[in-house]
Amino acid sequence: MSFGSAAVGHLSDGKTVFVEGAVPGDVARVELTEEKPRFARGRAAEILEASPDRVAPPCAAGCGGCPWAPLAYEAQLVAKRANVVDALVRTAHMDAARAEALVGSCVPSKRQWGYRNKLELSCGADGAGRLILGMRPEGGADVVSLDACPLAHRNIEGAPKALRGALRYLSGGSDLGLFRVGVRGSLRTRDVEIALWTTPGPFPRAAAAKTLASALKNTSVVRVVADPGRARKVKKVEAISGKGCWEEEVAESRLLLSAPSFAQVNTAQAEKLVELVLAGLEVEAGDYVADLYAGAGTFTLPLARAGAEVVAVESAGSSVRDLRRNAERAGADIDIIGGDAARELPELGELDAFVVDPPRAGLAEGVVASIAAASPRRVAYVSCDASTWARDAARFEQEGYRLIRATPVDLFPQTYHVEVVSIFERSGS
């Protein structure tokens, strides 16, 4: 499998071809859809002989949310580990034997379906102009309507159909400015939050609270006012009913999260990330540790509980507010800095250890050098993109920090995405 939805084969002349709809081991008749000088793309027009690793997916919605569903789960884990090894070889230019030795087995998810604590639904319209909720397949413009999503926790699995009817009734034919609906549900705290992402303008708050309460049992309904062209550029968040936030329990920490704030969608596997980070850093009481891209405190609070003196850096305003609130609730004395990691890092001084959990783009230019200048014994790097992580791994090694292990963790079964927890150690430490 590629790092994507396609399986990888070769044409008779040796050229690589990426085949949509196939899994490794299939014998298929392939229709080429694009041919470039170095590679080609195609689709499996007919499966002539099914792979032993091919399975029947439980959902045929075609929304693109679970592109690896036809591949047996054990084969998914093997493929994800292979993609991490491949990233080290191709992007970090690491010796293949060393890469194989460094990358551990992919940590499987407790749940292969029903694991997501969040659904993020796009808004569209059907042929009659009525609101639909669903997903946009990668590269597609149209929204595929959903009734349910088997990737989601049981308490929010049927949210698309329930909310579609409620929001059609609420709009009454008028435009609510709605462009996205987020639903988060916790199996541990039983919280369910509905987040309505809309453009600025008037909104029927009281009617929304009443209508949505009857459609989906919830503890909170919020309206996120934002620019649909830049959906993460939030203007304000309005609490329509209930708590006005969502609560989850992760690694013995109770985290309150506002609608724009990031949280891992697979709670049980997020705890595996925390375990691997703490074990890899070997934090001792009194160690001075920085948590960059700290979010609402997934790693920050466990580090403080382990006895470290923690400085947390986070740029997103909603996450900074959540982190301050969560630290106060936990009684943790944490130095919290609201700002860009690249800008704030040189001011932190020498540290014993770092945790970095950046967005998909990885670490900005110069951040690795700034971390090295702080002279930590070890760095834990948590990544959601193997390619940018491998690029940064090479940078760390150039700065005198050797990669000593990398563990893929499957937070996203039925997809090609994988998290990597890696530990770098200062040479000679």
Alpha carbon distance 376, 369 (integer Å): 12
The reply to whether 400 falls in a domain is yes
Please indicate if the annotation marks 357 as binding a ligand.
yes
What is the C-alpha to C-alpha distance for residues 120 and 284, in angstroms, rounded to an integer? Answer: 39
Q: Which domain holds residue 134?
A: 118-249
* pLDDT confidence bin for 231, thresholds 50/70/90: low
Looking at the structure, do residues 242 and 130 belong to the same domain, yes or no? Answer: yes
Rounded percentage of the chain residues whose pLDDT exceeds 90: 92
Q: Is 389 found in the same domain as 314?
A: yes
Active site residues: 384
In the 8-state DSSP scheme, what is residue 346? G
- Give the pLDDT score at 228: 85
The whole-number pLDDT of residue 138 equals: 80
Strand ranges (DSSP E) for 348-418?
353-356, 378-383, 401-409
In a domain, 66, yes or no: no
CATH assignment at residue 19: 2.40.50.140
Q: 294 with 356, same domain? A: yes
pLDDT, mean of residues 389-418: 98
Nearest alpha-carbon partner for 357 in 318, 316, 397:
316
pLDDT average, residue stretch 16-39: 96
Closest CA to 86 of 73, 75, 71, 99: 99
What global pTM score does this model have? 0.94
Pair (44, 151) in one structural domain: no
pLDDT given for residue 232 in this prediction: 67
User: Which residues share a beta bridge with 103?
Assistant: 406
Query: Do residues 313 and 294 both lie within one domain?
Result: yes
Same-domain pairing of 266 and 400: yes
Q: Tell me the mean pLDDT in the region 295-311.
A: 97
List, for residues 308-319, the tens digit of each pLDDT value.
Answer: 999 999 999 999
In this structure, are 298 and 243 located in the same domain?
no
Count of structural domains within the chain: 3
- pLDDT tens column, 207-230: 999 999 999 999 999 999 998 876
Claim to verify: residue 296 and residue 386 sit in the same structural domain: yes
Provide φ and ψ at 56, rounded to 5°.
-90, 115
Rounded to 10 degrees, what is the CA torsion of 6, 8, 10, 15? 80
d(CA 326, CA 185): 19
Please tell me whether 73 is known to bind a ligand: no
Residue listed under structure tokens 């435009």: 175
429 has pLDDT over 70: no
pLDDT for res 128: 87
With respect to residue 148, please indicate whether it lies within any of the assigned structural domains: yes
> Are residues 330 and 370 located together in one domain of the fold?
yes
105 DSSP assignment: P
- Residue 154 and residue 113: Cα distance in Å, rounded? 10
Q: Of 220, 249, 278, at which residue does a domain stop?
A: 249
Q: What are the structure tokens assigned to 35, written together?
A: 């041919």
Average model confidence (pLDDT) for the chain? 95
Region label for 173, one of left (φ > 0), alpha (ψ between -120 and 50) or beta (otherwise): left
Q: How confident is the model at residue 36 (pLDDT cuts 50, 70, 90)?
A: very high
pLDDT at 48 over 60: yes
Q: What is the CATH number of the domain that holds 413?
A: 3.40.50.150
Task: Examine the domain organization and report whether 412 and 330 are in the same domain.
Answer: yes
297/354 same-domain check? yes
Residue at a domain's end among 249, 284, 311: 249
Residue 74 domain-assigned? no
Predicted local confidence at residue 233, as pLDDT: 83
Task: Please determine, for residue 372, whether its predicted confidence score (pLDDT) is greater than 60.
Answer: yes
Q: Is 401 annotated as a binding residue?
A: no
Asked whether residue 5 is assigned to any structural domain, the reply reads: yes
- What is the Cα–Cα distance from 345 to 355, expressed in whole angstroms? 12
Model confidence pLDDT, tens digit, residues 76-117 = 999 999 999 999 999 999 999 999 999 999 999 999 999 999
Strands 419-426 and 378-383: antiparallel
In a domain, 62, yes or no: no
CATH number for the domain that contains residue 125: 2.40.50.1070
Residue 389 above 60 pLDDT?
yes
Kindly report the backbone phi and psi dihedral angles of residue 273, in degrees, each rounded to the nearest multiple of 5, phi listed first: -60, -45
- Is residue 91 in some structural domain? no
Given 206, 225, 249, the domain boundary residue is 249
144 part of a folded domain = yes
Residues 302 and 408 in one domain: yes
Whether pLDDT at 409 is above 70: yes
Confidence of residue 382 (pLDDT cuts 50, 70, 90): very high
pLDDT tens by residue, 161-194: 999 999 999 998 788 999 999 999 999 999 999 9
